[in-house]
Amino acid sequence: MSLAAFDFDGTLSESEMTVLLGQQCGVADRMAEITERAMNDEIGYAESLRERVSLLEGLSLDRAEDAFAEVRLREGAVEVLDGLADAGVRTAILTGGFERGVDR
């Protein structure tokens, strides 16, 4: 049996869930700065996630749902996943983000 695993945010999807959620709160730029610090190993992943999530305090469920509705797959992603399934390859989607965005 073969397995192909893919990251979701920024790989299969065109954007990252935390950025979409941040846009709903008007803090997307601040989130991007925190993400950049994590990518540069200035802070760890757990700390970056805590900082980013703290910026979402007060975000209503309706606005969160609006953000999840903005998730778009990259062009060709569905075809790749379908092709792998047709070839009998099991697929897995990995994410350090929000599962709700992947479910959509």
Catalytic residues: 7, 9
- As given in the structure block, the two tokens for residue 11 are 């790989």
CA proximity to 18, closest of 58, 83, 71, 62: 71
The DSSP string of 33-76 is HHHHHHHTTSS-HHHHHHHHHHTTTT--HHHHHHHHHT--BPTT
